[in-house]
Amino acid sequence: MSFVGDLEHLPIVDVIQLLHATRKSGTLCLKSSKGESQLVFSDGCIVSANHSNNSVRIGQILVQMNKISRETLDETLLEQKKSGADRAPLIASLIESGKLNKEDAFKGLETLIEMTIVEVLTWTEGTFELDVDTSVISDEYRYIPENLKLDLNLNTQNVLMDALRIYDEKKRDGTLMTETFSDGQPADDFPSDCEPPLADDQIISIDDLGLDVLDDLEKVIPGFFTPVKIHDPTTIHRERAGTSLGDIPQEQQERLYSYLSNTTAGAEETPAEHTHSPTHALILFSASDFIRHTVMTACKHEGFFTFSTDEEENLEHIISQSHSKELQPIILLDQPEPSSTVDIFGLSGRILDKNPDIPLFHLINPAGFSSILDSMDSGARAVLPRPDAATCKNSFVEDTIRFLETVKKCLKVPPVIKSNKIPVILRDCMEEISTKRELSEIIPIIDRYLSSVMGRAITFIHRRNELVCESISRSESAQPLNICIPIDGDSPLQKVMSSGVIYFDISDHQLLNECVYSQIGAPVDKQILVAPFKCLGRVLAVCYGDFGSRHQVNIDPEMISILLRHAGLVYENALYRKKFEKMLQT
């Protein structure tokens, strides 16, 4: 399994928070022109890291923190060298020999992780890839081996918050690009456009440099030279796609590598004046390395933001990120392997239930006649035949190229046109929510907006095993109310609480009649809306709305979702701020 994307499209902070919220395990590999780093996760917690600067090692950090001496580090490294291939990781050797206690080891590792995150926060371009199948961590960045039985699960939110604080301080002080470690003392500050003055005894003469005898040197043309290493643009495609080509003739393989390389080069050579901001985000759901690499390569350089995952729980977050960037999400679902338990037809239905306007396409093997019909029944806008080396070996490369060209054309769907004008009351409510820090201050504003749009609004807050409400909003007024509903059940309120998906439909559920309408009266129309209020990946409350004594009118549930997403982010930031302030006080 994997989760792949570009840091330009999904910032590293969002990636880390997603992995923490979904409790992922695996190695997150980050690559950019500045280098390569890894963050290792276990059940959503960061357990190790590898800094992009090879000179930043855990041993050096421990010396800088005065947890061990330079002599101790050198002695331990020498012992490791003598042990050969059977050597234990450095921290393991230090702990087992009694030269380092466990608490200091964890603090040093936490510092390394923070430094790694601070470094990658400066990366505005690059790629990320989570390999959740990799359970063996290489010694290059494995510091606590399994046989020590030490539980190292650093709180991801705390580490991320500390890293962001350090990043902000460095950015404020102008030291963000300063090397972490230096062999000498820092020089005195001088203006950037001049050099520090030299003392009289530091002035270097021609004699000191040996330039006075330059003319006496024998001039010899070297017999050989080291050629400049030529970058082969097909290398990355050979590594990523070559393993799937098997016994396809080499000549055909080269044709595919050339096609992918030319696609990339063509995009890079496009003049800046002819480029424009992306309007679409391609979200590819596939477990095939070959499909992932070829489709993402082709579409990325057509101006699409591209993401790839093979886990359903990642899709909602990526779709939400796309909407937040005002991009049109396009879903491409690849047919799973026969051994897979993934049901893409059911997945299509679940995606479209939440996002009915999203264009969705299926990739199906050419021979899958019934699968094509099932795809169309599930709501797919189109079904594209995927290249199949097993049945069409001789034409596989040509089929792949035609397939990629067709995908690029199909995905250029017009974005859904929505009015850029935000209703005045929605804008005012969002601005007012932005000034609040308490849930008790945010909920009345949500109710006020929902009741102005529909007629009546109630927000049920999750407390222990119940949904509890204390007031009802009717247009511009609020009245006391006391309703308690069990958390488990099949009513729209309980379903939204468990699924986190907005409900906007007709309902005459018995629980609504017994618990809600018995106190506030039944609405004239049975059309209701129930929307989740989420924070930190959890549903904290559900907001109920109906038209009361009014007759049903057309409303845009997306506007209500926007307000609730905004409210959730505001409350989430308030919680982080409180936690940070509390840490500063201690």
Q: pLDDT tens digit string along 210-221?
A: 444 445 545 554
CA distance 407 to 263: 14
- Across the range 64-75, mean pLDDT stands at 87
Q: Is the pLDDT of residue 432 over 80?
A: yes
Task: Dump pLDDT digits (tens) for 315-361.
Answer: 877 887 777 667 788 899 998 888 888 898 999 988 888 788 888 99
Q: Is the pLDDT of residue 563 over 90?
A: yes
Same domain membership, residue 383 and residue 286: yes
Residue 198: what pLDDT? 41
CA distance 485 to 379: 35
What are the C-alpha distances in Å from 402 to residues 298, 336, 405, 409? 12, 21, 5, 11
- Domain assignment of residue 231, yes or no: no
Per-residue HEC secondary structure of 388-449 comes to CCCCCCCCHHHHHHHHHHHHHHHCCCCCCCCCCCCCHHHHHHHHHHCCCCCHHHHHHHHHHH
- Domain assignment of residue 232, yes or no: no
Which contiguous run of DSSP H or E holds residue 508?
none
Which contiguous run of DSSP H or E holds residue 79?
helix 70-83
Pick the closest to residue 312 from 280, 275, 340, 289 (CA basis). Answer: 340
How is residue 234 annotated by DSSP?
Answer: T
Residue 337: what pLDDT? 84
Mean pLDDT over each residue of the chain, to the nearest integer = 76
Residue 62: what pLDDT? 87
Pick the closest to residue 286 from 263, 309, 266, 255 (CA basis). Answer: 309
What are the C-alpha distances in Å from 491 to residues 207, 443, 527? 92, 22, 14
CA distance 506 to 398: 51
DSSP string, 301-313: TTT-EEEEES-HH
Task: Dump pLDDT digits (tens) for 339-348.
Answer: 888 898 999 9
Same domain membership, residue 369 and residue 288: yes
Same domain membership, residue 406 and residue 431: no
Q: Is the pLDDT of residue 461 over 70?
A: yes
Choosing from 119, 151, 173, the residue where a domain stops is 173
> For residue 95, how many C-alpha atoms fall within 13 Å in the half-sphere facing its CB?
19
End-to-end CA distance of the chain: 41
Same domain membership, residue 543 and residue 397: no
- Domain assignment of residue 230, yes or no: no
- Domain assignment of residue 354, yes or no: yes
- Across the range 219-226, mean pLDDT stands at 46
Pick the closest to residue 483 from 473, 492, 474, 471 (CA basis). Answer: 471
How is the beta sheet containing 305-309 ordered, strand by strand?
45-50, 35-42, 26-32, 127-131, 2-6, 305-309, 280-285, 328-334, 360-364, 382-385
Same domain membership, residue 553 and residue 439: yes
Q: Is the pLDDT of residue 223 over 80?
A: no
- Domain assignment of residue 116, yes or no: yes
Choosing from 344, 379, 410, the residue where a domain stops is 410
- Domain assignment of residue 85, yes or no: yes
What are the C-alpha distances in Å from 383 to residues 332, 345, 359, 369, 547? 10, 12, 12, 11, 40
534 SS3 class: strand
Q: Residue 85 — very low, low, confident or very high, per pLDDT cuts 50/70/90? A: low
Q: What total of structural domains would you count in the chain?
A: 3
Q: What is the largest CA-CA distance in the chain?
A: 107
Answer yes or no: are the C-beta atoms of 543 and 531 closer than 8 Å. yes
Residue 54: what pLDDT? 61
Answer yes or no: are the C-beta atoms of 575 and 535 closer than 8 Å. yes
Residue 196: both structure tokens together: 């520090």
Say which residue the tokens 């440099």 belong to: 209
Host domain of residue 337: 247-268+276-410
- Domain assignment of residue 180, yes or no: no
Residue 422: what pLDDT? 58
CATH of the domain at 539: 3.30.450.40
Same domain membership, residue 499 and residue 366: no
CATH of the domain at 361: 3.40.50.2300
DSSP string, 23-35: T--EEEEEEETTE
Same domain membership, residue 346 and residue 289: yes
- Domain assignment of residue 438, yes or no: yes
Give the whole-number percent of the chain exceeding pLDDT 70: 75
CA quadruple 451, 454, 455, 461: dihedral, nearest 10? -40
Choosing from 124, 139, 173, the residue where a domain stops is 173
Pairing, β 527-535 against β 538-546:
antiparallel
Task: Dump pLDDT digits (tens) for 366-403.
Answer: 766 787 888 888 888 888 888 888 777 888 889 889 98
Same domain membership, residue 52 and residue 15: yes
Same domain membership, residue 354 and residue 295: yes
Same domain membership, residue 361 and residue 451: no
CA distance 194 to 188: 12
Tally of CB atoms within 10 A around 420: 6
Same domain membership, residue 380 and residue 494: no
CA distance 366 to 372: 9
Query: Across 17-26, 80-89, 293-302, which has the greatest mean pLDDT?
Result: 293-302
Same domain membership, residue 430 and residue 374: no
Using alpha carbons only, how large is the chain's radius of gyration in Å? Answer: 30
CA distance 279 to 446: 30
Say which residue the tokens 């000498």 belong to: 184
